[in-house]
Amino acid sequence: MMARAGLSYRFTHAITRKPADSVATGLRAVDTGDPSGDAFRAEHELYVKALQDAGLTVDVLPQLESYPDSCFVEDPAFCLPEGAIQLRPGTASREGEGKEIRAALDARFDKVVELPGSGYVDGGDILMLDDVILIGLSARTNREGADAFAQLLKEWGYNAEVCETPEGVLHFKTACSTLGEGVILATEVMAKSGFFGERKVVVVPDGEDYAANVIRVNAVVLVPEGYPKTLAAIEAAGFKTVVLPTHEARKVDGGLSCLSLRFASKAA
Ligand code: CIR
């Protein structure tokens, strides 16, 4: 079955959530200091403005103190023009975020379904390419969840493939992104994984792996601040960029993609 074109539509909307003060206790692999709620909210405002400047209507949900990582809205849901899927994040402190984001999905989509079964999928493990949606197994996304999600996507007319996120990488998309026009940005390890077949890959220069997580939003690619070699590589590949600070998000392993759910409304 051929997938519908995944990335050739214009995004019209995004859902975000203001970082809570409790983000200071957010999950992280390595402790490099606690993020500050105030500083994170200031960076978040710039992020929301960049999405608006790219032409999106942005819903900013209120901060949710009971879920320290809840500003990373990419993980509890996945959005397609046909509808949204409420996911089940695969770590105890975040599992309930699916229910928390449900009302925001219902407000924007006629069709919202919950991930079938009892497996786990984090949205950060889902990479949408033009002809296939890749689902990375990780410490957060298990086989049961990935298979159930792939089956659901197939029922909606999309090609889906399950692959292994490389060892030590939090989410599949921590190490790769789509730049648009069929081009992928990936760390060297991810680029060598074989997941991308013959597709064109821009490899993230040495020492800048964090910058593998960028987002293409309509005419521009949003790139994290502080990664000049990656920025130059993306621009050399012909993409227009906007640089944004992610210093607070980074302290709790967050990047640009995890801070929003981007989608095209059905009418667009
Ligand atoms: C977590 O560990 O779940 C958060 N501290 C960071 C989530 C980042 N999300 C993403 O990469 N999709």
For 238-260, the pLDDT digits (tens) are 999 999 999 999 999 999 999 99
Ligand 1 atom nearest residue 94's Cα? 3
248 lines ligand 1 (CB under 6 A): no
In a domain, 70, yes or no: yes
Task: Work out the angle at residue 133's Cα, subtended by the Cα atoms of residues 127 and 137, and round it to the nearest 5 degrees.
Answer: 65
In a domain, 50, yes or no: yes
State CA 149 to chain mean position distance: 16
Please give the share of the chain, as a percent, with pLDDT higher than 90.
95
Q: Give the global pTM.
A: 0.96
Q: How many domains does the chain have?
A: 1
State CA 35 to chain mean position distance: 20
| ipTM reported for the complex surpasses 0.85 | yes
Active site residue 171: yes
Which has the closest alpha carbon to 1: 196, 195, 154?
154
| CATH at 111 | 3.75.10.10
Structure tokens at 35: 């993020």
Which has the closest alpha carbon to 77: 62, 61, 99?
99
In a domain, 125, yes or no: yes
Q: Separation of 267 CA from ligand 1 center, angstroms? A: 31
Ligand 1 atom nearest residue 140's Cα? 3
Residue 114, H or E segment:
strand 112-114
**252 close to 71: Cβ distance less than 8 angstroms:** no
Is the torsion defined by CA of 212, 169, 141, 23 positive or negative? negative
Q: Given a cut of 90, is residue 4 above it in pLDDT?
A: no
Residue from 47, 72, 73, 256 whose mutation best tests the ligand 1 pocket (most atoms within 8 A of CB): 72
Active site residue 44: no
Residue from 47, 69, 190, 250 whose mutation best tests the ligand 1 pocket (most atoms within 8 A of CB): 69
Residue 51, H or E segment:
helix 37-53
Which has the closest alpha carbon to 165: 108, 217, 121?
121
35 lines ligand 1 (CB under 6 A): no
C-alpha distance from residue 169 to each of 36, 125, 137, 183 (Å): 24, 10, 11, 21
139 lines ligand 1 (CB under 6 A): no
pLDDT in tens, 175-205: 999 999 999 999 999 999 999 999 999 999 9
In a domain, 121, yes or no: yes
In a domain, 179, yes or no: no
27 lines ligand 1 (CB under 6 A): yes
**142 close to 125: Cβ distance less than 8 angstroms:** no
For residue 104, give its domain range. Answer: 13-165+246-263
In a domain, 138, yes or no: yes
In a domain, 111, yes or no: yes
Q: Separation of 259 CA from ligand 1 center, angstroms? A: 9
pLDDT in tens, 87-118: 999 999 999 999 999 999 999 999 999 999 99
